[in-house]
Amino acid sequence: MNKNALIIIAKYPEKDNVKTRLKGLMPDEKRLELYVSLLNQTMQKLGSIPAIDTFIAFAPENTEKYFLQFNVKLIPLHRGGLGAKMFEAFKYVFNAGYEKAALVGVDIPDLTDSTILNAFDLLSGSDLVYGPAKDGGYYLVGMRKLVREVFEDVPWSSDQTLNRSLEQAKRFGYSVGFTEMLSDIDTIEDVKRTGFLS
């Protein structure tokens, strides 16, 4: 067992629960195909980084069979909002004995292993690390001890997600580091930039 845990949060690919902000903007099958493609790319790039144990935190919790194909450790997520699910995933790895943990989604095409390694380096001097997304959210959150407050009272999937999380961190006295700013795939413009529709 390594000291560092990387959690990749993922949903079972069904057209009713992935990339829902793109509903009506591209065919359902294409949306599903996009999500599977992003998930596969993410696992290819981040599934086996040296000195880091990779987990997939997945929902719904009865879809474990699908995620076994990626040959990483699995964390089934129960019901609840995004903040509750992220906290649950962090709690799982810290309870398992990991000293540092970082969590990312599957929809950041430019995310590389070097960004992940940088995040773990930053955790040597900060309680929390964020990877800012260009839309005001974040694509990565890391911590070196379990912190609940940054997942509470935060408007998820909004341009205030990161600001509000940072306000919570400051309010409770946690130090914060930052990785580079990247774009995630939320809008049809984001999809077009990837070349997926061409």
What domains can be seen in the chain, in order of their start residue? 4-192 (3.90.550.10)
**How far apart are alpha carbons 85 and 121 in whole angstroms?**
25
Predicted confidence at residue 198, as pLDDT, reads 55
pLDDT at 3 over 80: yes
pTM above 0.85, yes or no: yes
Largest CA distance in the chain: 47
The token pair that represents 57 in the structure block: 């935190």
pLDDT higher than threshold 70 for residue 163: yes
Q: What is the DSSP string of 60-89?
A: STT-HHHHGGG-SEEEE--SS-HHHHHHHH
| Interval 88-135: pLDDT, tens | 999 999 999 999 999 999 989 899 999 999 999 999 999 999 999 988
Q: What is the pLDDT of residue 197?
A: 66
Q: Provide, rounded to the nearest whole percent, the portion of the chain with pLDDT above 70.
A: 96
Q: Decide if 9 contacts 86 (C-beta within 8 A).
A: yes
User: Can you read off the two tokens belonging to residue 185?
Assistant: 């795939």
Residue range 165-197, pLDDT digits in tens: 999 999 999 999 999 999 877 778 777 777 666
Instruction: Please provide the average confidence, as pLDDT, over all residues in the chain.
Output: 91
pLDDT at residue 35 tops 60: yes
